Amino acid sequence: MNTRQRRVLAVAYGGGHIAMLLPVLRALRQRDAGLHVDLLALTTAARAARAAGETPLGYADLLHLLNEAERARALELGAAAMDGNAHPDVGADETRAYLGVNRLDLEWQYGADGAQARYAQHGRHGFHPAGFMRRVVDALRPDLVLTTNSPRSEEAVVDAARAAGVPSVALLDLFGLPGDAFAARSRHPDRVCVLAPQVRDNLVAAGWPREIIAVTGNPAFDTLLDPAWAQRAAEWRATLGWQHRKVVLLATQPEMRAHPDVPWPAGDALALAMEHALRLWVGGRDDVALIVRHHPNHGHRLPAQAPAPNVHVSRGADEPIEMLIRAADAVVVQATTVGLQAAVAGVPVLALRCSPAVRHGIDYAALGAARSVADLDALPAALAAVLGAAAAPGPWARHAAAADAVAQQVLALLESRTGTS
């Protein structure tokens, strides 16, 4: 029987990527208390990892994998690239090491002149440090590599693991639509965990083997399943006197670019028109209420509307999106991630097809996660139909934690490699 401590190397960038990985690490430790995890939390991911109680590694912690001349060259290259690449959540030493090691790896791949040309053309987006990641894999000796769908270091560590004969699991955050860089990859991890059957079908259509795709959900959305949010939402509705009303959450985002098939321009014009239309709708009824939640990065820039009965404008972190979704009987969106979160939570979603973002490809209705609404004029009838129907979770609704499902995939691969200890 193999009794060696099993080891996982987890690698993630920040934002939604580290948010996917952290719940999986907790789930793995609950199942295997002896599991050793090395977490390489890249750039802004380190702060989130430390806040979650992890002790992450960064590039600066791995400089010893270079010899003295390589280390000096990496730090020289990193220092030369610091201008314009700083971030308040990333220390200067880590920024220098990250940039320098990645630029050094470019020199290993392309030579000094070729690396300089590639960096001049692509900047950080040209990084793919497979050589350095092979050293990381060789040094840490993982039995499995766990990562997400980010490019650069995350993609490189999957390639390095494959070269070393180490199995890998990748988590895909969203949809794998045509044109998606992850879907277009020709080198695959041993397992990829996806949101829903529709995402699996997208990857299969892109050439991925069906047998390596597991439908698990996205662990970053697991918090939506916490019963505490439903309780908090019910209490919040009661403070507003909305216990007996149907509540609609409007969640908007600015349009990044126009589309020739719809009249709405880039910017906030559609978001403001959606709010105006729904305020008129609420104002003419006594059985509904409206939550307005414009994108957190843009809502403060929009003109404030006059207070109205049974309309609540949500601002600030004191009203988390999980509570707002759980307080709603329906959610209206263009293409914001809130629509996907609501679908995962089992709340009906209506997506406006007149949105440029929808026409550019983020069409929740086409993915089976929402009901399509042609334009603002059609919105009242669509809401009446949804709110008048019996509540029934859609095909994207999750009833169990995705982190647990991903952990099961990881442990199955580990056991196939190491044997059950």
Percent of the chain residues topping a pLDDT of 90: 72
Question: What backbone torsions phi and psi does residue 152 show, to the nearest 5 degrees?
Answer: 55, -120
The better pLDDT of the pair 173, 418 is held by 173
CA pair distance 25, 38, nearest whole angstrom: 10
Mean pLDDT (whole number) for 132-159: 95
By DSSP bridging, strand 7-12 and strand 144-148 are parallel
Which domains are seen in the chain, by residue range?
Answer: 7-217+401-418 (3.40.50.2000), 225-388 (3.40.50.2000)
**Residue 176 pLDDT > 90, yes or no?**
no
**Residue 298 pLDDT > 80, yes or no?**
no
Identify the CA nearest to 136 among candidates 166, 178, 174, 109. 166
pLDDT of residue 419: 62
pLDDT of residue 418: 66
pLDDT digits (tens, 9 = 90+) for 35-87: 999 999 998 899 999 999 999 999 999 999 999 999 999 999 999 988 888 78
**Residue 393 pLDDT > 80, yes or no?**
no
pLDDT digits (tens, 9 = 90+) for 151-174: 999 999 999 999 999 999 999 998
Mean pLDDT (whole number) for 202-219: 94
Judge contact between 78 and 103, C-beta under 8 A. yes
Give pTM, 2 decimals: 0.82
List the single range of 122-126, 273-277, 325-329 with lowest mean pLDDT.
122-126
pLDDT of residue 1: 45
**Helix residue ranges per DSSP H, 293-401:** 321-327, 337-345, 356-359, 379-388
CA-to-CA separations, 144 to 24, 46, 120, 347, in angstroms, rounded = 14, 21, 34, 36
DSSP assignment letter at 57 = B
pLDDT of residue 421: 43
Q: pLDDT confidence of 104, banded at 50, 70, 90? A: very high
Identify the CA nearest to 310 among candidates 292, 325, 295. 292
Percent helix, strand, coil in the chain, to 5, is: 50, 15, 40
Q: pLDDT confidence of 304, banded at 50, 70, 90? A: confident
pLDDT of residue 302: 82
The better pLDDT of the pair 221, 147 is held by 147
Judge contact between 365 and 352, C-beta under 8 A. no
3-state SS, residue 38:
strand
**Residue 97 pLDDT > 60, yes or no?**
yes
User: How high is the mean pLDDT of the chain?
Assistant: 91
Q: pLDDT confidence of 7, banded at 50, 70, 90? A: very high
CA pair distance 196, 309, nearest whole angstrom: 39
